[in-house]
Amino acid sequence: MTNVIVAFPKPEDAKSIRNILVKNGFPVVAVCTSGAQTLQYADDLHNGVVVCGYRLTDMIYSQLREDLSEQFDMLLLASRRFTSEVDDKRIRCVAMPLKVHELLASVDAAVEESELRKKKARQQPKQRNVFDKQQIMLAKDLLMKQKGMTEEEAHRYLQKSSMANGVNMIETAQMVLSILGKNV
C-alpha cells in the first residue's frame, strides 16, 4: 500500500486529516508541520502521497513539490483562490472548505496513481552496470570461441541457462567464465 504523509502548519489540522484518512483505510505514516520534516520522511519512504496545506511553517506547497521526489504525488488542500492558481500537473487540489468525500476520492486517486507508477517501475528491466555488461560479453565471447556459437546463440544460451538454473544472467555468465575460462 502507498504511504501517506500529512503536512499542515497546525498540528491539530494535520491530526484531523490523519484521523479521517486512517479511519478510511489509508496508511498515514507521518504527520508533519514543516516542509523539512515532510522531505525527511519522503526521503526515507521513496514514494507515496503528501497531503498538505498551502503554507507550512517553513515553506509553501510549491517549494515542497520542487524538493519532493517524482515518486511522490501531492494533494493540496487550500482555498479556491489558491487552488485555481495551481498550474502544476503533478499537484492535485481539493478546495476548502473540505468535503470529506472529495478528500477521500482525491487521496484514493493519488494512491492508485502511485501504485501504478510503482508497478510500471517494477516491470522495467533492471539496468546493468558496466561490469555486469562486461561479464556477459566475456562469457558470450568464450562461448563463441570455444563452442562455435554466433553472438545471438551465445546470448540465448546464457538466457536459457539462467532460467533453467533459477539464477540471473550475470551469475550464469560468471559460471560460464569460471568453467570455460579454465579451459583457455
Pair 64, 113 in one domain: yes
Enclosing domain of residue 71:
4-123
Averaged pLDDT, 158-174? 92
Cell numbers of 133, please? Answer: 555488461
Number of folded domains that form the chain? 2
In tens, the pLDDT along 111-128 reads 998 888 888 877 777 778
Residues 107 and 135 in one domain: no
CA atoms within 13 A on the CB side of 28: 22
Query: How high is the pLDDT of residue 182?
Result: 65
Q: What's the rounded mean pLDDT across residues 134-160? A: 93
| 151 and 117 in a common domain | no
- Are 165 and 155 in contact by the 8 Å Cβ rule? The answer is no
Q: Is the same domain home to 67 and 145?
A: no
61, 143: one domain: no
